[in-house]
Amino acid sequence: MKKKVSKKEKEEVKPFRVWDELAEMDILIEYMRRFVDSNINTSPDLYPTMIEALYANSTEIIPEVEQYYGEKLHFSLNFFLDKIALCQNPKQ
């Protein structure tokens, strides 16, 4: 008979990612600065995954993370402003 797993236990189980481990040891940012720029075109999902690991697990403030999320915020706000511009000028 299977043991029933509670919702809390399901939420606690997370997949192991090497990027999280490296970010906790403050090694991931050095790895990114040396090697990721040359390899980023081969895997477009690699950079955001690493940034998320840095954001969640880093012990210090990292300028690359701030810049990444700042650019995402800038893009989102510009998109929003472009969409509401149509509402402000209904004659167009």
Give a yes or no: residue 9 inside a domain.
no
Give a yes or no: residue 6 inside a domain.
no
Q: What is the pLDDT of residues 44-85, one digit of tens each?
A: 788 898 899 999 988 888 999 999 999 999 999 999 999 898
Give a yes or no: residue 10 inside a domain.
no
* Residue 90, CA atoms < 13 Å, CB-side half-sphere: 0
26, 57 contact by CB (below 8 A) = no
Domain span at residue 68?
15-88
Nearest-angstrom CA–CA distance, 29 and 51? 9
pTM of the model as a whole:
0.69
Give a yes or no: residue 48 inside a domain.
yes
How many domains, in total, are found in the chain? 1
Give a yes or no: residue 3 inside a domain.
no
Give a yes or no: residue 78 inside a domain.
yes
Give a yes or no: residue 7 inside a domain.
no
Among 26, 30, 71, 27, which Cα is nearest to 48's?
A: 71
